[in-house]
Amino acid sequence: TELSDWLLPDRKSEIRSRMDDNTDNGVVEFKTATNLKNPGITKSANEKILLTLSMDIMFINNGSVTVLLQTGDGNLFRIHYILSDNIIKLEGKDLYYGIGSNMKRKWIHLTRQVMVDFQKGLTLQYSKNRSMKMKSAARIAAICVRGHGIMDNVSLSFHAHKDLFLDAANYFVRHQDSKGGWPVKVTRKLIPEVMELEPGWYSAMGQGQAISLLVRAYVASKNNTYLEAAGKALDIFDIPSSKGGVLAKFLNSFDWYEEYPTTPSSFVLNGFIYSLIGLYDLKQMATSPVSEKAAELYNNGMRTLKAMLPMFDSGTGTFYDLRHITAGLAPNRARWDYHKVHIKQLYLLVQLDSDPLFKDTLQRWKGYMKGNIAPHN
**Using alpha carbons only, what angle is made at residue 273 by residues 344 and 320, rounded to the nearest 5 degrees?**
80
Q: Please tell me the predicted confidence (pLDDT) of residue 128.
A: 57
Q: Please tell me the predicted confidence (pLDDT) of residue 361.
A: 98
Comparing CA positions, the residue from 46, 65, 44 lying closest to residue 54 is 65
CB 372 within 8 A of CB 304: no
**R_g (Cα) of the chain, nearest Å:** 26
What pLDDT, in 10s, does the model give residues 304-332? 999 999 999 999 999 999 999 999 999 99
Comparing CA positions, the residue from 319, 323, 322, 324 lying closest to residue 341 is 319
CB 265 within 8 A of CB 256: yes
Torsion 209-211-212-213 (CA) sign:
positive
CA distances from 336 to 340, 366, 367 (A): 6, 11, 13
Residues in the chain: 377
| Rounded Cα gap, residues 145 and 333, in angstroms | 55
| Cα separation of the two ends of the chain | 77
Contacts 24+ apart (CB under 8 A), 79-83: 79/112, 79/114, 79/117, 79/118, 79/121, 80/36, 81/110, 81/112, 82/36, 83/59
Coil/strand/helix, residue 342: helix
Tally the C-alpha atoms within 13 A of residue 162's C-alpha that lie toward its C-beta.
Answer: 5
- The DSSP letter of residue 9 is S
Query: Can you name the residues that pair with 56 across neighbouring β-strands?
Result: 109, 152
> Mean pLDDT of successive 10-residue segments in the chain (377 residues)?
90 94 88 94 90 96 95 90 95 94 94 93 71 66 97 93 94 97 95 90 99 98 98 98 97 97 96 99 97 99 99 98 94 97 98 98 98 94
- Structure pTM? 0.85
Phi first, then psi, for residue 280 (nearest 5°) are -60, -45
Q: Please tell me the predicted confidence (pLDDT) of residue 48.
A: 84
Which domains does the chain carry?
Answer: 3-159 (2.60.120), 179-369 (1.50.10.20)
What pLDDT, in 10s, does the model give residues 1-29? 689 999 999 999 999 999 988 777 899 99
Residue 20 burial class via C-beta count within 10 angstroms: exposed 0-12, middle 13-18, buried 19 and up: middle
CB 32 within 8 A of CB 12: yes
Comparing CA positions, the residue from 302, 79, 266, 282 lying closest to residue 189 is 266
